[in-house]
Amino acid sequence: MTDSDPAALRRAVIQHLEGFQRAGLTHWKRIAPLVVETPQPVAPTASTGARPHHVDASPGSSLSSHSPSAPSLPSRAEVMPAARPNKSSTASTGAVASAPVVSACATFQPLNLPRGERVSQLSVLAERVAACVRCQELASTRKQTVFGVGNPEAKILFIGEAPGADEDAQGEPFVGRAGQLMNDIITACRMKREDIYICNVLRCRPPGNRLPSPEEAGNCREYLDGQIALVNPEYIVCWGSTAAKNLLASEETIGKLRGRFFEYGRAKVLCTYHPSYLLRNPAAKKDVWEDMKLLFKDMGVDLTAKT
């Protein structure tokens, strides 16, 4: 996009505003400029210099898991994990409530900001993503970036793979057929889509829906970790092997990763099959249902009980 391209500029402005909306912002008093850093490895004690922003935002839903506290600012070093997952687990698969928690990244530091701060910081992050060109091929072929959507105080955060054609067109993760199946799963779990926070490993569509490359996933990791740190969920669900392998830095198949909990920061992580896989292999739906029962049993909810 150039300044002389009014149509592209208009699209960018609309996307920018939609990013605010998807992050939950309805109005604001004042947004101060964010100090944007060039992406590069940083020492664990480095800081981005990001400043707080203040917005009015309504209290969280009944599923909100966080109480307001004094705001602290996310630095990249605080947001980025400094250690890789523990791959030495010998825990077996199988949906059992007593499955061990495996430490995936004990040093990941989530934040615990008041709702307004979360909304504001997510909006700033969405703005950065909308302008991101780290992956040249993706940045030149995307219709728009797909940041994430949902409750900024969600107890559960979903991670998918990358935007497909529908997501690229609509700017929202998990829409289209796979998204409808995801919605059905959410409903079966007695929740609403807006109770959850949903994002992907990548925020731009890979051409032809190919798998994200390791370089692309690495480029986008800062944004994923930023969203996890800001939402600060109690549970993360990795939908499909791309999300599971990238978050946990595991080489295990999704079949081996599912059915047990891992740990990422303070969040318990559960991996299961991607809805797109379920569309091709409906028999695997029962495994996903077992995983959902395991997740909700850990939350104290028996999905098999009559309501």
Q: Which residues bind to ligand SF4, rule: CB under 6 A?
A: 129, 132-135, 138-139, 145, 202-204, 216, 219-220, 223
Give the number of C-alpha atoms closer than 13 A to the C-alpha of residue 87, restricted to the C-beta side: 12
Structure tokens of 185? 């799963």
Which of residues 135 and 257 has its CB atom nearest to ligand SF4 in the complex? Answer: 135
- With respect to ligand SF4, which residue has the nearer C-beta, 114 or 164? 164
Contact 136, 292 (CB under 8 A): no
CB 110 to ligand SF4: min, Å: 21
Q: Checking DSSP bridges between strand 156-160 and strand 149-150, what pairing results, if any?
A: unpaired
CB 37 to ligand SF4: min, Å: 14
By beta-carbon proximity to ligand SF4, the closer residue of 145 and 250 is 145
d(CA 80, CA 224): 9
| Minimum distance from residue 304 beta carbon to ligand SF4 (Å) | 39
Residue with Cβ nearer ligand SF4 (105 or 135): 135
Separation of alpha carbons 261 and 121, rounded Å: 29
What is the closest distance, in whole angstroms, from the C-beta atom of residue 128 to ligand SF4 in the complex? 8
Gyration radius of the chain over CA positions: 19
DSSP of 149-168: EE-TT-SEEEEES---HHHH
Distance CA 23, CA 118 (A): 9
From 98, 281, 63, 94, select the one nearest 190 (Cα to Cα).
Answer: 63
Output the smallest distance, CB 100 to ligand SF4, in A: 33
132 vs 244, beta carbon nearer ligand SF4: 132
C-beta of 257: minimal distance to ligand SF4 in Å? 23
Q: Which is nearer to ligand SF4, 42 or 139 (CB)?
A: 139
Return the residue matching tokens 């569509």: 205
